[in-house]
Each structure stands twice: as structure tokens, then as C-alpha cells.
Amino acid sequence: MLDALSPLGGGINLVLILLSVATSALTAAVGVGGGVLMIMALAQVMPAAALIPVHGMVQLGSNAGRAAMTWRHVDRAVLAAFVPGAMLGALVAAWLLVRLPAGILELCIAAFVLYTCWGSGLPKRALGRVGVFVAGAITTLLSSLVGASGPLVAAFIKQGQAGRLASVATFSACMLLQHLTKAFVFGVAGFVFRDWLVLILIMVAAGFVGTWLGLRLLHRVTDHRFDFLFKWVLTLLAVRLTWLGVQRLLAA
């Protein structure tokens, strides 16, 4: 039965479903990290052509669940500015759909994340409507090209949010819309979702369970502890991106 879920084997399908629970719980509880862990795991077992579109659809469902459960905490002003930028980024990605030089992108994202975590913070102008619009466009473009721009979006969103629930809710709503654009981008590019649809739907349902578990933990975490965990998870992800970027630069 599990073998029929996707072109992958039954055992792998089961592991990915359980992983969807774990990564959704991580993002709900800590604010970020689940999407990157998911794409790292998918990259080990999934054909390259299916990696980014399948990851995007699974994360769309995961973020939809998180956004629905935390909707009253979403910063709607940020979301209203982010959406037009995301649409622009998706249109550019559909036209471009190529990768930047190996290693450069990872190093740029890592540098930005580390600066927002440990630097003096972004200027207020960058957190205004124009700044959010630009962030929506750039991160959506990057997400369509390399798969996981979550740390970049999370680092930007966190600068303008005071509480842990607002951070998670606004991040989830922005990522929901960003991943939604991937259906358009890869549909235009000719990717056939049908072969992977059943696995995607089951992983999305599993993600709802993980989100529920993670949000229960989030409500028990203080803002101070959340900020500490959020910053260090982002930092570890940025260190990993730096390592990958250096490896790819050297390989090239």
C-alpha cells in the first residue's frame, strides 16, 4: 500500500510522512528550520526534477495549517506588502528558472541571516512597505530556484515582530503564499504533480498533526526562550549554508 503513494519505495514514503510531522512541529515550536530539514531529507531520496516542486507543495500545506491555527496573530500589514512582491518574484522565476553560480546564493543567505541575528538589526526603512515588498520578491525568486528560503524570510519577519506568536503566524502566512506561487512556477515549467500527489497530500495531513503538537509547545515557551531558540536555530542553519556554499565554490 505504501509503495503506491509515490515513485519512491514504501519504506521511504513512511519515513517522509513521519518526517513531515517532526519538521512541522519544529517550525511551529521554534519558528523556523522545518522546511530546510525537509528539503535536506528529500534531496537524499528524490529525483532532482521533483525535489523543489514536491517540497514546495508539502510546505504549502504545512504553512497553511500553521497560518490557519494562528491567523489572529498575523501582521496583516506585512502580509499585504509581501504578497505583491511574492507575485513579482514568482513571475521572474517562471521566466528564469535557472540557478545562480554554485555556492554564491548559499553564502549570501547565510550572511544575511547571521547579520539579522547578531548585527545591529535592519534599518526601519527596510521594514516598511517597500522593504517588505522587495523581500517578498527576492525570497520568492530564491525559493523557486533553490527550494528553501525559510531562514531568510524568518530572519526578515522577526525584525518587525515583537512576540513569538506574531512571528510564527506572520512567517507562516508569508511562506504559505510563497509556496503557493510554486504551483504556478512549476506548472508553467511543465512539472507533472500527479505522480506525487498522494504522497504530498498525506505529508500535508501529517504536517497538520505536527503543527498542532508544535503550537502546544509554543504556548508554553516564554518570549525570551523563544527568541533564544529562534536565534540559535537560524544561526545553525546559516552555518550549514556557509559550509555548503564553500564546498560548492571549491567544487566549481
- Per-residue buried b or exposed e for 147-173, using 16+ beta carbons within 10 Å of the residue's own CB: bbbbbbbbbbbbbbbeebbbbbbbbbb
Mutual orientation of helices 150-159 and 129-146 as an angle, nearest 10°? 170
User: What contacts 175, CB < 8 A, 6 or more positions away?
Assistant: 35, 59, 63, 150, 153
- Residues 33-77 have pLDDT tens digits of 677 777 777 777 777 667 777 887 888 888 888 888 888 888 788
Alpha carbon dihedral 52, 108, 122, 64, in 10-degree steps, equals: 10
What range defines the domain where residue 244 resides?
2-251
Number of domains in the chain: 1
pTM for this one? 0.69
In 3D space, the residue among 217, 153, 27 whose CA is nearest the CA of residue 19 turns out to be 27
Q: Apex CA 202: angle with CA 201 and CA 207, to 5°?
A: 95
Please check whether residue 6 is in contact with residue 57, taking contact to mean a CB–CB distance below 8 angstroms: no
- Residues 118-160 have pLDDT tens digits of 766 555 555 566 767 777 777 777 666 655 666 677 777 766 6
Which percentage of the chain shows pLDDT scores above 70?
73
